[in-house]
Structure 1
């Protein structure tokens, strides 16, 4: 197959999509399995001498126990989030230094080792080992996304760039959605020891992503052997060019403005989505944490409705990317996406319209903005610094998001 052909590029894109599939599936496993994880790592009542009235049923792990504290549970996400934010900038620099082939293998390996260590921690029931696994997982999770975006920027230009970004976003969201809809069902199907088998299954998907990184390397090496010069296809990262951290100083003002837009938009949208289940339960069902408990049906409905922006983006991101590639106007589309988010908050805060309506609009806002913002980064910086530019933008987004979540958590507490 000719490396210059469209078929070769889209074959490579298909393989690239699966580089992050395992990590996106495994990332939110602790959320899907929260009740079981907290029970599994809970303390039996007779160990502390507390009365049974202070305990809950933690079967099948122990008859009665005190579940893992919410603080210890939140550490599973805290260590991931901050390691992720810290590693994406050096990860992006490494991509620009040594290339996407090597970095894809490095980061998918780190992710696999992290998820495997977490599985070991579950097997031996040692909380510290689980945390160590999440630390490693966080070191590779954000960086592999930077690698994926750098690959797309390298192989797709012009009227294919935003579509390719949209396809990778869809594949990532499908991994998250599969976790949400499949994980708990799988755990019950493989009992006994369903929890352990489920986290091992996540490690298996991470192993599949590692396999895809080797397959990607084979495809790129095939292009090299056929004398394909990436510059001829508008590639970024030709071997003759060297990256230097000093290049960050050459990033134009438009890049930094775009990074600020990215940070402000994402850190309005994501915290709202995270808090949406409680908001929906309290406003539309008159139940929740500060009121009467909600039944399981209400909890499920609130969770599904809150995920609407992700479902929307998973389906429509490639189509929105095609619109961006055809008509351009990325700046105006970013403005439109931001204005749509304002409509969402006005509807949700000051009307009694069904919560589905603002969440669908938020999905449209998120899809439009993502399709316009991320493909713009490779257009604003030197080709040999794309990985670093994506890493910086991602890190700024994550640091601000982590600080916002900590502020919200402290306020609620």
Structure 2
């Protein structure tokens, strides 16, 4: 961590005098307006990463045709992204907190994302499949860790103020990046095809994604400048945490934690790989154009961009997290059944799936903090993300092979089987939790009273 980030938070009582432009409401770090301007930059920090993550999904049909790929090879682009994060999820936060600092960490991981996308584009430009796979691996190294840096910035600038709103906005912007990608890349490809053809056209089109990564890198540099300036003016340092990833902590994790991990992986593997393969599915079954298919495919991201903060607020007020998780799983299972066994417009199923995904994500991840002590949360979330990425890496490969050998109907049955496992795990979690007092499914009011009693007991003991 840099020396600037280690300056005492309450060191000198003197405040740097601001004059000229620096004294305006927008440039003065003591003013709320300045923090909100920084929030805008913060939200765009991972825009390029999320835009480029689903570049293959947005160009699935053209990419498979231009590069002569089958579904199995195509899904390797998603699998190679996930493999490094099976390990790096443990260490991304540690590197930011203890080694690089949030400023340098954000810049370094933004560089990984940018370099990865540039190499991915070059691989397409020269029809080098191995280079494209290696590029997605490099891209994956930066992508998830950049999200950790973004969250670290959010906590540093907004802790004790509007932190929940900030996290909701960051999630929304990530979905906006995915949505823009789904609706922009096909028109870009058509425009480029007027001058280039084949894999050359594909490579040139993918460089648009590299441009968004450069933009996010500029946001990382800007954040580093303003964060350093903010620390200097306010005589502030970053509060380092004592949390270090400790693999040995897993032996103390309760059964409820592992059940939450099972729900996480079995649910998410039915959503993200499906979006990765959805374009051709919608074209073939409903005879939609590539542009319309991309619009349908992006509905999960569009809906969740708006709904996630709203459902998060609702669940904060109501509690009953396990009820919401079960509801999200059941509704998503129904959406896959609708897509598999009917010809009802896919707009309906994908819109509902976007809502159910938002419900589950808003209810599932906070449950970890209810079953794991605070000093082990970093380890718990690292393990949860690692298991999720391992599942995504394996299922992405298997899903591609299923489409090649058996078609999309069997693929949908495959996803429904995973969701059935998620539902079974949810029921088991409910029973296990109920035997221990039902903490995960308490109303918000009862949970608050229980936490207050626990605090009183700990104070008495101390």
Output the TM-score relative to the length of structure 2: 0.67
User: What SS is found at the alignment partner of 1:226?
Assistant: helix
Tell me, yes or no, if the aligned pair for 1:115 and 1:203 is still in contact at 8 Å.
yes
1:225 shift after superposition: 1.6
Tell me, yes or no, if the aligned pair for 1:95 and 1:387 is still in contact at 8 Å.
no
Single out whichever of 157-166 and 312-321 deviates more from structure 2: 157-166
Corresponding residue of 2:177: 175
User: What SS is found at the alignment partner of 1:245?
Assistant: coil
Tell me, yes or no, if the aligned pair for 2:58 and 2:181 is still in contact at 8 Å.
yes
Unaligned runs of 5+ in 1: 42-66, 231-236, 282-286, 289-293
Corresponding residue of 1:96: 97
Residues 145, 392 of structure 1: alpha-carbon distance in 2 compared, 3 angstrom cutoff: farther
Corresponding residue of 2:449: none
Q: Distance in 2 between matches of 1:33 and 1:348?
A: 21
Tell me, yes or no, if the aligned pair for 2:45 and 2:150 is still in contact at 8 Å.
yes
What does 1:330-369 align with in structure 2 at a 5 Å threshold? 330-345=321-336, 354-369=345-360
Residue by residue over 1:241-285, the C-alpha shift from the partner in whole angstroms, topping out at 9 and shown as x without a partner, is 44433386188646555434322332344445556667767xxxx
Corresponding residue of 1:12: 38
Single out whichever of 377-386 and 147-156 deviates more from structure 2: 377-386
1:325 shift after superposition: 4.8
| Count of aligned pairs | 370
Q: Distance in 1 between matches of 2:89 and 2:152?
A: 12
Residue by residue over 1:140-168, the C-alpha shift from the partner in whole angstroms, topping out at 9 and shown as x without a partner, is 12221232234334444568444322211
Tell me, yes or no, if the aligned pair for 2:273 and 2:392 is still in contact at 8 Å.
yes
Q: Distance in 1 between matches of 2:206 and 2:279?
A: 25
Give the alignment partner of residue 218 of structure 2, picking from 211, 219, 229: 211
1:189 equivalent in alignment to 2:191? yes
Q: Distance in 2 between matches of 1:260 and 1:153?
A: 28
Corresponding residue of 2:230: 223
Corresponding residue of 2:5: none
Tell me, yes or no, if the aligned pair for 2:243 and 2:376 is still in contact at 8 Å.
yes
User: What SS is found at the alignment partner of 1:359?
Assistant: helix
Q: Distance in 1 between matches of 2:345 and 2:353?
A: 13
Q: Distance in 1 between matches of 2:260 and 2:390?
A: 16
Corresponding residue of 1:115: 117
Residue by residue over 1:219-250, the C-alpha shift from the partner in whole angstroms, topping out at 9 and shown as x without a partner, is 322332234657xxxxxx713x4443338618
Residues 83, 92 of structure 1: alpha-carbon distance in 2 compared, 3 angstrom cutoff: same
Residues 176, 245 of structure 1: alpha-carbon distance in 2 compared, 3 angstrom cutoff: closer
Q: Distance in 2 between matches of 1:258 and 1:154?
A: 28
Corresponding residue of 1:246: 246
Residues 373, 160 of structure 1: alpha-carbon distance in 2 compared, 3 angstrom cutoff: farther
What does 1:5-404 align with in structure 2 at a 5 Å threshold? 6-41=32-67, 67-98=68-99, 99-157=101-159, 160-190=162-192, 191-193=194-196, 194-227=201-234, 238-239=239-240, 241-246=241-246, 249=249, 253=254, 256-273=258-275, 288=285, 295-297=287-289, 301=292, 303-325=294-316, 330-345=321-336, 354-374=345-365, 389-404=380-395
Corresponding residue of 2:456: none
1:71 shift after superposition: 4.5
Q: Distance in 2 between matches of 1:309 and 1:387?
A: 28
User: What SS is found at the alignment partner of 2:269?
Assistant: helix
1:104 shift after superposition: 0.8
1:353 shift after superposition: 5.5
